[in-house]
Structure 1
Amino acid sequence: MNNSHPQLRTVNVTRYVTPLREGGSMPAIAEADDEFLYVLKFRGAGQGVKALIAEIIGGELARALGFKVPEIVFANLDKAFGRTEPDEEIQDLLKASVGLNLALHYLSGSITFDPTVAVIDSKLASQIVWLDCLLTNMDRTARNTNMLFWHKELWLIDHGAALYFHHSMENWEEQAKKPFILIKDHVLLPQASELDEVDEAFKAMLSDELIEEIVSLIPVDWLSQDLEEESAEDRRKVYAAFLKSRVANSQIFVKEAKHARSGLI
Protein backbone atom coordinates (compact mmCIF):
# COMPACT_ATOMS: atom_id res chain seq x y z
CA MET A 1 0.00 0.00 0.00
CA ASN A 2 1.10 3.55 -0.74
CA ASN A 3 1.08 5.29 2.66
CA SER A 4 1.91 8.78 1.39
CA HIS A 5 -0.83 11.39 1.34
CA PRO A 6 -2.29 11.72 -2.16
CA GLN A 7 -1.50 14.98 -3.94
CA LEU A 8 -1.46 16.17 -7.53
CA ARG A 9 1.01 18.48 -9.24
CA THR A 10 -0.13 21.24 -11.61
CA VAL A 11 1.45 21.77 -15.03
CA ASN A 12 0.84 24.21 -17.87
CA VAL A 13 0.15 22.84 -21.32
CA THR A 14 2.64 24.20 -23.84
CA ARG A 15 2.09 22.11 -26.96
CA TYR A 16 -0.76 20.11 -28.46
CA VAL A 17 0.90 17.10 -30.08
CA THR A 18 -1.82 14.87 -31.51
CA PRO A 19 -5.41 13.84 -30.81
CA LEU A 20 -6.29 10.36 -29.56
CA ARG A 21 -9.48 9.56 -31.40
CA GLU A 22 -10.16 6.15 -29.85
CA GLY A 23 -12.80 7.49 -27.47
CA GLY A 24 -15.68 9.91 -27.73
CA SER A 25 -14.04 12.42 -25.38
CA MET A 26 -11.13 12.89 -27.80
CA PRO A 27 -8.21 13.23 -25.38
CA ALA A 28 -4.84 14.27 -26.76
CA ILE A 29 -1.14 13.80 -26.30
CA ALA A 30 0.26 17.12 -25.14
CA GLU A 31 3.50 18.52 -23.78
CA ALA A 32 3.67 20.54 -20.57
CA ASP A 33 6.10 23.07 -19.15
CA ASP A 34 7.90 20.30 -17.24
CA GLU A 35 8.86 18.89 -20.68
CA PHE A 36 6.92 15.64 -20.13
CA LEU A 37 4.27 14.27 -22.44
CA TYR A 38 0.78 13.65 -21.07
CA VAL A 39 -2.52 12.20 -22.15
CA LEU A 40 -4.63 15.32 -21.72
CA LYS A 41 -8.31 14.94 -20.80
CA PHE A 42 -10.46 17.98 -21.44
CA ARG A 43 -13.10 19.51 -19.20
CA GLY A 44 -14.94 20.63 -22.36
CA ALA A 45 -15.34 17.08 -23.71
CA GLY A 46 -18.47 14.90 -23.69
CA GLN A 47 -18.96 14.08 -19.99
CA GLY A 48 -17.23 17.25 -18.83
CA VAL A 49 -15.69 17.54 -15.39
CA LYS A 50 -17.52 14.47 -14.06
CA ALA A 51 -15.27 12.25 -16.16
CA LEU A 52 -12.27 14.09 -14.71
CA ILE A 53 -13.59 13.62 -11.17
CA ALA A 54 -14.01 9.90 -11.80
CA GLU A 55 -10.47 9.82 -13.19
CA ILE A 56 -9.03 11.37 -10.02
CA ILE A 57 -10.97 9.17 -7.62
CA GLY A 58 -10.50 5.97 -9.61
CA GLY A 59 -6.84 6.53 -10.36
CA GLU A 60 -5.82 7.60 -6.87
CA LEU A 61 -7.81 4.85 -5.14
CA ALA A 62 -6.11 2.36 -7.44
CA ARG A 63 -2.71 3.83 -6.61
CA ALA A 64 -3.45 3.68 -2.87
CA LEU A 65 -4.29 -0.01 -3.24
CA GLY A 66 -0.92 -0.67 -4.83
CA PHE A 67 -1.77 -0.72 -8.53
CA LYS A 68 0.47 0.86 -11.15
CA VAL A 69 -1.24 4.03 -12.42
CA PRO A 70 0.37 6.81 -14.51
CA GLU A 71 0.93 10.02 -12.56
CA ILE A 72 -2.19 12.19 -12.63
CA VAL A 73 -1.69 15.96 -12.78
CA PHE A 74 -3.83 19.05 -13.12
CA ALA A 75 -3.17 20.71 -16.49
CA ASN A 76 -3.79 24.40 -17.12
CA LEU A 77 -4.91 25.38 -20.60
CA ASP A 78 -4.43 29.06 -21.49
CA LYS A 79 -7.16 30.84 -23.47
CA ALA A 80 -4.62 31.64 -26.20
CA PHE A 81 -3.76 27.99 -26.61
CA GLY A 82 -4.91 26.40 -29.86
CA ARG A 83 -5.80 29.55 -31.77
CA THR A 84 -3.74 28.32 -34.68
CA GLU A 85 -5.26 24.82 -34.61
CA PRO A 86 -6.67 24.19 -38.12
CA ASP A 87 -9.14 21.46 -37.08
CA GLU A 88 -12.37 23.23 -36.08
CA GLU A 89 -13.55 20.36 -33.86
CA ILE A 90 -10.30 20.38 -31.91
CA GLN A 91 -10.29 24.19 -31.72
CA ASP A 92 -13.81 24.16 -30.27
CA LEU A 93 -12.74 21.56 -27.71
CA LEU A 94 -9.73 23.64 -26.69
CA LYS A 95 -11.85 26.80 -26.33
CA ALA A 96 -14.34 24.91 -24.16
CA SER A 97 -11.53 23.60 -21.96
CA VAL A 98 -9.73 26.80 -20.96
CA GLY A 99 -8.64 26.55 -17.34
CA LEU A 100 -7.95 23.48 -15.25
CA ASN A 101 -8.01 20.09 -16.97
CA LEU A 102 -6.57 16.68 -16.09
CA ALA A 103 -3.67 14.75 -17.59
CA LEU A 104 -1.93 11.41 -17.11
CA HIS A 105 1.74 10.79 -17.73
CA TYR A 106 2.14 9.35 -21.23
CA LEU A 107 3.62 5.86 -21.10
CA SER A 108 5.68 6.01 -24.26
CA GLY A 109 6.21 2.60 -25.82
CA SER A 110 3.53 0.87 -23.77
CA ILE A 111 1.60 -2.10 -25.18
CA THR A 112 -2.15 -2.58 -24.83
CA PHE A 113 -3.12 -5.55 -22.66
CA ASP A 114 -4.36 -8.35 -24.90
CA PRO A 115 -6.35 -11.00 -23.01
CA THR A 116 -5.75 -13.55 -25.76
CA VAL A 117 -1.98 -13.31 -25.27
CA ALA A 118 -1.21 -12.12 -21.74
CA VAL A 119 -1.86 -14.22 -18.63
CA ILE A 120 -2.76 -12.47 -15.37
CA ASP A 121 -2.54 -14.39 -12.11
CA SER A 122 -5.71 -14.95 -10.11
CA LYS A 123 -4.80 -12.60 -7.26
CA LEU A 124 -4.10 -9.59 -9.50
CA ALA A 125 -7.19 -10.36 -11.59
CA SER A 126 -9.28 -10.52 -8.41
CA GLN A 127 -7.83 -7.23 -7.16
CA ILE A 128 -8.66 -5.40 -10.40
CA VAL A 129 -12.17 -6.88 -10.54
CA TRP A 130 -12.77 -5.82 -6.91
CA LEU A 131 -11.56 -2.28 -7.65
CA ASP A 132 -13.83 -1.95 -10.68
CA CYS A 133 -16.80 -3.26 -8.70
CA LEU A 134 -16.13 -0.63 -6.06
CA LEU A 135 -15.88 2.12 -8.67
CA THR A 136 -18.69 0.76 -10.88
CA ASN A 137 -16.20 0.97 -13.72
CA MET A 138 -17.88 -0.38 -16.86
CA ASP A 139 -14.84 0.21 -19.06
CA ARG A 140 -12.54 -2.77 -18.56
CA THR A 141 -13.93 -5.16 -21.17
CA ALA A 142 -12.30 -7.32 -23.83
CA ARG A 143 -13.18 -4.64 -26.36
CA ASN A 144 -11.44 -1.93 -24.38
CA THR A 145 -9.32 -3.25 -21.51
CA ASN A 146 -7.82 0.09 -20.38
CA MET A 147 -4.71 -1.72 -19.21
CA LEU A 148 -1.19 -1.36 -20.56
CA PHE A 149 2.07 -3.22 -20.24
CA TRP A 150 4.93 -0.79 -19.67
CA HIS A 151 8.41 -1.88 -18.57
CA LYS A 152 6.99 -5.40 -18.13
CA GLU A 153 4.43 -4.27 -15.55
CA LEU A 154 0.66 -3.96 -15.82
CA TRP A 155 -0.69 -0.39 -15.57
CA LEU A 156 -4.30 0.70 -15.14
CA ILE A 157 -5.55 3.67 -17.14
CA ASP A 158 -8.76 5.58 -17.88
CA HIS A 159 -11.29 5.55 -15.04
CA GLY A 160 -13.41 8.33 -16.53
CA ALA A 161 -16.44 6.09 -17.08
CA ALA A 162 -16.52 4.99 -13.42
CA LEU A 163 -18.81 6.29 -10.67
CA TYR A 164 -21.74 6.67 -13.03
CA PHE A 165 -23.99 7.37 -10.02
CA HIS A 166 -22.81 11.00 -10.18
CA HIS A 167 -24.80 11.63 -13.36
CA SER A 168 -27.90 11.36 -11.18
CA MET A 169 -27.01 11.85 -7.54
CA GLU A 170 -30.49 12.10 -6.02
CA ASN A 171 -30.58 8.46 -4.84
CA TRP A 172 -26.88 7.96 -4.19
CA GLU A 173 -27.49 6.10 -0.92
CA GLU A 174 -29.44 3.40 -2.76
CA GLN A 175 -26.93 3.25 -5.61
CA ALA A 176 -24.03 2.83 -3.18
CA LYS A 177 -25.47 -0.49 -2.01
CA LYS A 178 -26.32 -1.89 -5.42
CA PRO A 179 -24.42 -4.80 -6.97
CA PHE A 180 -22.45 -4.00 -10.10
CA ILE A 181 -24.16 -6.17 -12.71
CA LEU A 182 -21.91 -5.00 -15.55
CA ILE A 183 -19.05 -6.89 -13.93
CA LYS A 184 -20.20 -9.83 -16.06
CA ASP A 185 -18.39 -8.19 -19.00
CA HIS A 186 -15.09 -7.62 -17.17
CA VAL A 187 -12.12 -8.94 -19.14
CA LEU A 188 -10.47 -10.45 -16.04
CA LEU A 189 -13.52 -11.96 -14.36
CA PRO A 190 -12.75 -15.55 -15.44
CA GLN A 191 -9.39 -15.39 -13.59
CA ALA A 192 -10.80 -13.66 -10.48
CA SER A 193 -10.94 -16.66 -8.13
CA GLU A 194 -9.69 -14.89 -4.98
CA LEU A 195 -12.37 -12.24 -4.48
CA ASP A 196 -13.09 -13.10 -0.84
CA GLU A 197 -9.42 -12.82 0.14
CA VAL A 198 -9.01 -9.57 -1.78
CA ASP A 199 -12.19 -8.17 -0.24
CA GLU A 200 -10.86 -8.68 3.27
CA ALA A 201 -7.47 -7.13 2.44
CA PHE A 202 -8.73 -4.14 0.48
CA LYS A 203 -11.44 -3.22 2.98
CA ALA A 204 -8.76 -2.97 5.64
CA MET A 205 -6.69 -0.66 3.41
CA LEU A 206 -9.44 1.78 2.41
CA SER A 207 -9.96 3.79 5.57
CA ASP A 208 -12.46 6.63 5.79
CA GLU A 209 -9.54 9.01 6.17
CA LEU A 210 -7.91 7.83 2.95
CA ILE A 211 -11.17 8.14 1.03
CA GLU A 212 -11.66 11.68 2.33
CA GLU A 213 -8.10 12.63 1.36
CA ILE A 214 -8.60 11.43 -2.20
CA VAL A 215 -11.98 13.13 -2.56
CA SER A 216 -10.42 16.35 -1.20
CA LEU A 217 -8.28 16.50 -4.36
CA ILE A 218 -11.30 17.43 -6.50
CA PRO A 219 -11.21 21.15 -7.41
CA VAL A 220 -14.09 23.17 -5.99
CA ASP A 221 -15.09 24.60 -9.37
CA TRP A 222 -15.46 21.08 -10.81
CA LEU A 223 -17.87 20.29 -8.00
CA SER A 224 -19.81 23.52 -8.52
CA GLN A 225 -20.97 22.81 -12.07
CA ASP A 226 -24.68 22.08 -12.58
CA LEU A 227 -25.47 22.64 -8.92
CA GLU A 228 -29.00 23.47 -7.88
CA GLU A 229 -29.48 23.52 -4.12
CA GLU A 230 -26.49 21.65 -2.79
CA SER A 231 -23.13 23.32 -2.28
CA ALA A 232 -19.87 22.16 -3.77
CA GLU A 233 -18.70 20.88 -0.39
CA ASP A 234 -21.95 19.01 0.11
CA ARG A 235 -21.31 17.27 -3.19
CA ARG A 236 -17.77 16.41 -2.07
CA LYS A 237 -19.27 14.81 1.04
CA VAL A 238 -21.59 12.75 -1.17
CA TYR A 239 -18.65 11.32 -3.11
CA ALA A 240 -16.91 10.37 0.14
CA ALA A 241 -20.05 8.92 1.69
CA PHE A 242 -20.83 6.92 -1.47
CA LEU A 243 -17.38 5.33 -1.45
CA LYS A 244 -17.42 4.64 2.29
CA SER A 245 -20.81 2.96 1.99
CA ARG A 246 -19.67 0.93 -0.98
CA VAL A 247 -16.61 -0.31 0.90
CA ALA A 248 -18.67 -1.11 4.01
CA ASN A 249 -21.15 -3.10 1.89
CA SER A 250 -18.61 -4.70 -0.42
CA GLN A 251 -20.08 -8.16 0.16
CA ILE A 252 -22.94 -7.09 -2.14
CA PHE A 253 -20.75 -6.48 -5.16
CA VAL A 254 -18.42 -9.37 -4.34
CA LYS A 255 -21.41 -11.74 -4.31
CA GLU A 256 -22.55 -10.41 -7.68
CA ALA A 257 -19.07 -10.81 -9.18
CA LYS A 258 -18.81 -14.39 -7.91
CA HIS A 259 -22.26 -15.18 -9.31
CA ALA A 260 -21.34 -13.70 -12.71
CA ARG A 261 -18.06 -15.63 -12.72
CA SER A 262 -19.83 -18.91 -11.96
CA GLY A 263 -21.61 -18.58 -15.27
CA LEU A 264 -18.31 -18.30 -17.13
CA ILE A 265 -16.33 -21.22 -15.73
Structure 2
Amino acid sequence: MKTPNELRTVNVMRYILPLREGGSLPALAEADDGFNYVLKFRGAGQREKALIAELLGGEIARLLGFKVPELVFAELDVAFGRSEGDEEIQDLLKGSQGLNLALHFLSHAINYDPLAMPVDPLLASKIVWLDMLITNVDRTFRNTNMLMWNRELWLIDHGASFLFHHSWHHWERNAKGNFPIIQNHVLLPQASMLDEANEALKPLLTPEIFKQIVSLVPKNWLLAGGESEDPSELAGVYEGFLSLRHAHADQFTKEANHARKTLI
Protein backbone atom coordinates (compact mmCIF):
# COMPACT_ATOMS: atom_id res chain seq x y z
CA MET A 1 0.00 0.00 0.00
CA LYS A 2 1.37 3.42 -0.95
CA THR A 3 1.92 6.06 1.72
CA PRO A 4 2.04 9.87 1.42
CA ASN A 5 5.32 11.54 0.53
CA GLU A 6 6.71 14.66 2.13
CA LEU A 7 6.50 17.48 -0.40
CA ARG A 8 9.71 19.11 -1.57
CA THR A 9 10.08 22.88 -1.19
CA VAL A 10 11.42 24.97 -4.07
CA ASN A 11 12.14 28.68 -4.35
CA VAL A 12 10.50 30.55 -7.20
CA MET A 13 13.18 32.29 -9.26
CA ARG A 14 11.37 33.59 -12.33
CA TYR A 15 7.78 34.41 -13.25
CA ILE A 16 7.44 33.31 -16.87
CA LEU A 17 3.84 33.98 -17.84
CA PRO A 18 0.29 33.92 -16.46
CA LEU A 19 -1.94 30.98 -17.37
CA ARG A 20 -5.19 32.87 -17.79
CA GLU A 21 -7.29 29.76 -18.44
CA GLY A 22 -7.97 29.58 -14.71
CA GLY A 23 -9.95 32.12 -12.74
CA SER A 24 -7.27 32.17 -10.02
CA LEU A 25 -4.50 33.27 -12.41
CA PRO A 26 -2.00 30.44 -11.96
CA ALA A 27 1.35 31.05 -13.60
CA LEU A 28 4.20 29.25 -15.28
CA ALA A 29 7.30 29.83 -13.18
CA GLU A 30 10.88 28.60 -12.90
CA ALA A 31 12.25 27.35 -9.59
CA ASP A 32 15.73 27.02 -8.17
CA ASP A 33 15.85 23.30 -8.99
CA GLY A 34 15.89 24.14 -12.71
CA PHE A 35 12.35 22.92 -13.44
CA ASN A 36 9.26 24.82 -14.50
CA TYR A 37 6.07 24.64 -12.45
CA VAL A 38 2.46 25.66 -12.67
CA LEU A 39 2.30 27.93 -9.63
CA LYS A 40 -0.92 28.20 -7.61
CA PHE A 41 -1.01 31.36 -5.51
CA ARG A 42 -2.40 31.50 -1.99
CA GLY A 43 -3.36 35.12 -2.65
CA ALA A 44 -5.75 34.22 -5.47
CA GLY A 45 -9.39 33.25 -5.71
CA GLN A 46 -10.32 30.93 -2.84
CA ARG A 47 -6.91 31.56 -1.30
CA GLU A 48 -5.47 28.87 1.00
CA LYS A 49 -8.56 26.67 0.76
CA ALA A 50 -7.89 26.10 -2.95
CA LEU A 51 -4.30 25.10 -2.15
CA ILE A 52 -5.46 22.74 0.59
CA ALA A 53 -7.91 21.10 -1.81
CA GLU A 54 -5.21 20.89 -4.49
CA LEU A 55 -2.79 19.24 -2.09
CA LEU A 56 -5.25 16.76 -0.59
CA GLY A 57 -6.92 15.88 -3.89
CA GLY A 58 -3.64 15.50 -5.75
CA GLU A 59 -2.04 13.33 -3.07
CA ILE A 60 -5.10 11.09 -2.79
CA ALA A 61 -5.11 10.70 -6.58
CA ARG A 62 -1.41 9.77 -6.53
CA LEU A 63 -1.93 7.20 -3.78
CA LEU A 64 -4.74 5.64 -5.82
CA GLY A 65 -2.35 5.15 -8.73
CA PHE A 66 -3.35 7.99 -11.03
CA LYS A 67 -0.85 10.00 -13.03
CA VAL A 68 -0.52 13.36 -11.25
CA PRO A 69 2.24 15.97 -11.71
CA GLU A 70 4.51 16.23 -8.68
CA LEU A 71 3.23 18.69 -6.09
CA VAL A 72 5.77 20.92 -4.35
CA PHE A 73 5.67 23.79 -1.91
CA ALA A 74 6.84 26.95 -3.66
CA GLU A 75 8.40 29.76 -1.66
CA LEU A 76 7.81 33.28 -3.00
CA ASP A 77 10.30 35.86 -1.77
CA VAL A 78 9.14 39.25 -0.50
CA ALA A 79 11.04 40.99 -3.30
CA PHE A 80 9.60 38.77 -6.01
CA GLY A 81 7.55 40.52 -8.70
CA ARG A 82 8.47 44.12 -7.88
CA SER A 83 9.38 44.67 -11.52
CA GLU A 84 6.12 43.15 -12.80
CA GLY A 85 4.33 45.71 -15.00
CA ASP A 86 0.83 44.26 -14.77
CA GLU A 87 -0.80 45.72 -11.65
CA GLU A 88 -3.20 42.79 -11.23
CA ILE A 89 -0.34 40.29 -11.31
CA GLN A 90 1.81 42.48 -9.05
CA ASP A 91 -0.98 42.60 -6.45
CA LEU A 92 -1.34 38.82 -6.73
CA LEU A 93 2.37 38.31 -6.14
CA LYS A 94 2.41 40.68 -3.17
CA GLY A 95 -0.51 38.82 -1.64
CA SER A 96 1.17 35.46 -2.11
CA GLN A 97 4.52 36.04 -0.43
CA GLY A 98 5.62 32.99 1.50
CA LEU A 99 4.56 29.41 0.88
CA ASN A 100 2.46 28.52 -2.16
CA LEU A 101 1.79 25.29 -4.07
CA ALA A 102 3.01 24.26 -7.49
CA LEU A 103 2.66 21.36 -9.92
CA HIS A 104 5.49 20.14 -12.12
CA PHE A 105 4.92 21.53 -15.62
CA LEU A 106 4.31 18.83 -18.24
CA SER A 107 5.97 20.31 -21.29
CA HIS A 108 4.10 19.75 -24.58
CA ALA A 109 1.12 18.12 -22.85
CA ILE A 110 -2.24 18.68 -24.54
CA ASN A 111 -5.65 19.15 -22.99
CA TYR A 112 -7.79 16.03 -22.89
CA ASP A 113 -10.42 16.07 -25.64
CA PRO A 114 -13.39 13.84 -24.72
CA LEU A 115 -14.56 13.66 -28.34
CA ALA A 116 -11.23 12.54 -29.77
CA MET A 117 -9.63 10.63 -26.87
CA PRO A 118 -11.66 7.68 -25.55
CA VAL A 119 -10.71 6.45 -22.08
CA ASP A 120 -10.67 2.87 -20.87
CA PRO A 121 -13.97 2.25 -18.99
CA LEU A 122 -12.24 1.13 -15.79
CA LEU A 123 -9.92 4.16 -15.75
CA ALA A 124 -12.86 6.47 -16.44
CA SER A 125 -14.78 4.82 -13.61
CA LYS A 126 -11.87 5.18 -11.20
CA ILE A 127 -11.54 8.90 -11.97
CA VAL A 128 -15.27 9.41 -11.39
CA TRP A 129 -14.94 7.49 -8.10
CA LEU A 130 -12.05 9.73 -7.01
CA ASP A 131 -14.02 12.88 -7.78
CA MET A 132 -17.02 11.55 -5.87
CA LEU A 133 -14.76 10.92 -2.87
CA ILE A 134 -13.23 14.41 -2.81
CA THR A 135 -16.38 16.17 -4.13
CA ASN A 136 -14.57 17.68 -7.10
CA VAL A 137 -16.93 19.88 -9.12
CA ASP A 138 -14.46 20.76 -11.85
CA ARG A 139 -13.89 17.89 -14.28
CA THR A 140 -16.52 18.72 -16.88
CA PHE A 141 -16.77 19.00 -20.65
CA ARG A 142 -16.20 22.72 -20.23
CA ASN A 143 -13.05 22.25 -18.17
CA THR A 144 -11.75 18.67 -18.17
CA ASN A 145 -8.70 19.27 -15.94
CA MET A 146 -6.91 16.35 -17.58
CA LEU A 147 -3.90 16.29 -19.86
CA MET A 148 -2.49 13.82 -22.35
CA TRP A 149 1.26 13.55 -21.90
CA ASN A 150 3.46 10.79 -23.32
CA ARG A 151 0.25 9.04 -24.42
CA GLU A 152 -0.99 8.80 -20.83
CA LEU A 153 -3.83 10.56 -19.05
CA TRP A 154 -2.76 12.90 -16.25
CA LEU A 155 -5.01 14.52 -13.66
CA ILE A 156 -4.54 18.18 -12.70
CA ASP A 157 -6.31 20.95 -10.79
CA HIS A 158 -8.16 19.60 -7.76
CA GLY A 159 -8.59 23.02 -6.14
CA ALA A 160 -12.37 22.99 -6.59
CA SER A 161 -12.77 19.94 -4.35
CA PHE A 162 -13.90 19.66 -0.70
CA LEU A 163 -16.85 22.02 -1.02
CA PHE A 164 -17.65 21.64 2.67
CA HIS A 165 -14.66 23.76 3.75
CA HIS A 166 -16.21 26.93 2.35
CA SER A 167 -18.86 26.55 5.07
CA TRP A 168 -17.79 24.31 7.94
CA HIS A 169 -21.29 23.76 9.26
CA HIS A 170 -22.77 20.29 8.76
CA TRP A 171 -19.59 18.77 7.32
CA GLU A 172 -20.75 15.34 8.45
CA ARG A 173 -23.95 15.73 6.45
CA ASN A 174 -21.90 16.75 3.40
CA ALA A 175 -19.64 13.73 3.84
CA LYS A 176 -22.59 11.33 3.85
CA GLY A 177 -24.76 13.26 1.41
CA ASN A 178 -25.40 13.14 -2.30
CA PHE A 179 -23.22 14.83 -4.90
CA PRO A 180 -25.58 15.61 -7.80
CA ILE A 181 -22.94 17.63 -9.66
CA ILE A 182 -21.41 14.30 -10.70
CA GLN A 183 -23.92 14.21 -13.57
CA ASN A 184 -21.75 16.86 -15.27
CA HIS A 185 -18.56 14.78 -15.08
CA VAL A 186 -16.83 14.55 -18.44
CA LEU A 187 -16.02 10.84 -18.02
CA LEU A 188 -19.33 9.69 -16.56
CA PRO A 189 -20.67 8.43 -19.94
CA GLN A 190 -17.59 6.17 -20.25
CA ALA A 191 -17.63 5.05 -16.60
CA SER A 192 -19.36 1.71 -17.06
CA MET A 193 -17.32 -0.09 -14.35
CA LEU A 194 -18.03 1.98 -11.25
CA ASP A 195 -18.65 -1.05 -9.03
CA GLU A 196 -15.32 -2.53 -10.10
CA ALA A 197 -13.62 0.82 -9.45
CA ASN A 198 -15.12 0.91 -5.96
CA GLU A 199 -13.88 -2.61 -5.23
CA ALA A 200 -10.38 -1.74 -6.47
CA LEU A 201 -9.90 1.68 -4.87
CA LYS A 202 -11.76 1.58 -1.57
CA PRO A 203 -9.30 -0.85 0.11
CA LEU A 204 -6.34 1.41 -0.79
CA LEU A 205 -7.41 4.16 1.62
CA THR A 206 -7.72 4.10 5.40
CA PRO A 207 -8.31 6.69 8.17
CA GLU A 208 -4.60 6.50 9.00
CA ILE A 209 -3.65 7.34 5.42
CA PHE A 210 -6.06 10.27 5.44
CA LYS A 211 -4.45 11.49 8.65
CA GLN A 212 -1.00 11.29 7.05
CA ILE A 213 -2.15 13.19 3.96
CA VAL A 214 -3.82 15.94 5.99
CA SER A 215 -0.66 16.29 8.09
CA LEU A 216 1.08 17.61 4.96
CA VAL A 217 -1.04 20.78 5.00
CA PRO A 218 0.85 23.75 6.49
CA LYS A 219 -0.69 24.95 9.74
CA ASN A 220 -0.86 28.57 8.60
CA TRP A 221 -2.97 27.50 5.60
CA LEU A 222 -5.41 25.81 7.96
CA LEU A 223 -5.64 28.90 10.14
CA ALA A 224 -5.89 31.42 7.30
CA GLY A 225 -9.69 31.23 7.04
CA GLY A 226 -10.18 32.23 10.67
CA GLU A 227 -12.57 29.38 11.49
CA SER A 228 -10.44 28.25 14.43
CA GLU A 229 -7.28 29.13 16.32
CA ASP A 230 -6.37 25.45 16.60
CA PRO A 231 -4.94 23.90 13.42
CA SER A 232 -5.33 20.39 14.82
CA GLU A 233 -9.07 20.98 15.16
CA LEU A 234 -9.36 21.91 11.46
CA ALA A 235 -7.06 19.08 10.40
CA GLY A 236 -9.34 16.74 12.33
CA VAL A 237 -12.33 17.95 10.34
CA TYR A 238 -10.60 17.14 7.05
CA GLU A 239 -9.62 13.72 8.39
CA GLY A 240 -13.14 13.11 9.62
CA PHE A 241 -14.70 14.22 6.33
CA LEU A 242 -12.48 11.93 4.27
CA SER A 243 -12.93 8.95 6.57
CA LEU A 244 -16.71 9.36 6.67
CA ARG A 245 -16.92 9.97 2.93
CA HIS A 246 -14.80 6.88 2.33
CA ALA A 247 -17.04 4.81 4.64
CA HIS A 248 -19.97 5.76 2.41
CA ALA A 249 -18.18 4.85 -0.84
CA ASP A 250 -20.73 2.14 -1.67
CA GLN A 251 -23.46 4.74 -1.38
CA PHE A 252 -21.81 7.34 -3.62
CA THR A 253 -20.91 4.63 -6.13
CA LYS A 254 -24.61 3.80 -6.40
CA GLU A 255 -25.35 7.49 -6.86
CA ALA A 256 -22.82 7.74 -9.71
CA ASN A 257 -24.28 4.63 -11.34
CA HIS A 258 -27.74 6.15 -11.16
CA ALA A 259 -26.52 9.45 -12.60
CA ARG A 260 -24.88 7.60 -15.47
CA LYS A 261 -28.08 5.71 -16.30
CA THR A 262 -29.87 9.01 -16.76
CA LEU A 263 -27.34 9.94 -19.45
CA ILE A 264 -27.39 6.80 -21.58
TM range (shorter): over 0.9
Q: What percentage of aligned pairs have identical amino acids?
A: 62
- Using the alignment, how far apart are the partners of 1:154 and 1:226 within structure 2? 34
Deviation at 1:227, TM superposition (A): 2.4
* Residues 17-48 of structure 1 deviation map (CA, whole Å, 9 limit, x = unaligned): 00000111000000000010000000000100
What amino acid does structure 1 have at the position aligned with 2:61?
Answer: A
List runs of 5+ in structure 2 lacking aligned partners. Answer: none
Aligned to 2:200: 201
What amino acid does structure 2 have at the position aligned with 1:253?
Answer: F
SS in 1 for 2:74: strand
What amino acid does structure 2 have at the position aligned with 1:181?
Answer: P
What amino acid does structure 2 have at the position aligned with 1:9?
Answer: R
Aligned to 1:227: 226
SS in 2 for 1:170: coil
Deviation at 1:229, TM superposition (A): 4.4
Aligned to 1:131: 130
2:262 is the alignment partner of 1:263:
yes
Aligned to 2:88: 89
Aligned to 1:46: 45
- Using the alignment, how far apart are the partners of 2:194 and 2:68 within structure 1? 21
User: 4+ residue stretches of structure 1 with deviation over 6 A?
Assistant: none
Aligned to 2:151: 152
CA-atom RMSD in angstroms: 1.0
SS in 2 for 1:218: coil
Deviation at 1:225, TM superposition (A): 1.3
Deviation at 1:251, TM superposition (A): 2.0
What amino acid does structure 2 have at the position aligned with 1:255?
Answer: K
Change (3 A) 1:11 1:229: closer
Aligned to 2:238: 239
What amino acid does structure 1 have at the position aligned with 2:166?
Answer: H
- Using the alignment, how far apart are the partners of 1:30 and 1:77 within structure 2? 11
Deviation at 1:196, TM superposition (A): 1.0
Q: Report matched runs for 1:27-176 at 5 Å.
A: 27-176=26-175
Deviation at 1:226, TM superposition (A): 2.5
Q: Report matched runs for 1:181-192 at 5 Å.
A: 181-192=180-191
Change (3 A) 1:28 1:232: same
What amino acid does structure 1 have at the position aligned with 2:116?
Answer: V
SS in 2 for 1:169: coil
Q: Which stretch shows the higher mean deviation, 190-199 or 46-55?
A: 190-199
Q: Which stretch shows the higher mean deviation, 197-206 or 226-235?
A: 226-235
Tell whether the 8 Å contact from 2:3 to 2:209 is kept in structure 1 after alignment.
no
Deviation at 1:201, TM superposition (A): 1.8
Aligned to 1:178: 177
Tell whether the 8 Å contact from 2:28 to 2:38 is kept in structure 1 after alignment.
yes
- Using the alignment, how far apart are the partners of 1:125 and 1:5 within structure 2? 24
Tell whether the 8 Å contact from 1:44 to 1:93 is kept in structure 2 after alignment.
yes
- Using the alignment, how far apart are the partners of 2:4 and 2:61 within structure 1? 14
Deviation at 1:83, TM superposition (A): 0.3
* Residues 44-92 of structure 1 deviation map (CA, whole Å, 9 limit, x = unaligned): 0010000000000000000000000000000000010000000000000
* Residues 114-157 of structure 1 deviation map (CA, whole Å, 9 limit, x = unaligned): 00100101100000000000111010001110000111110000
SS in 1 for 2:103: strand
Deviation at 1:4, TM superposition (A): 4.2
List runs of 5+ in structure 1 lacking aligned partners. Answer: none
- Using the alignment, how far apart are the partners of 1:59 and 1:233 within structure 2? 21
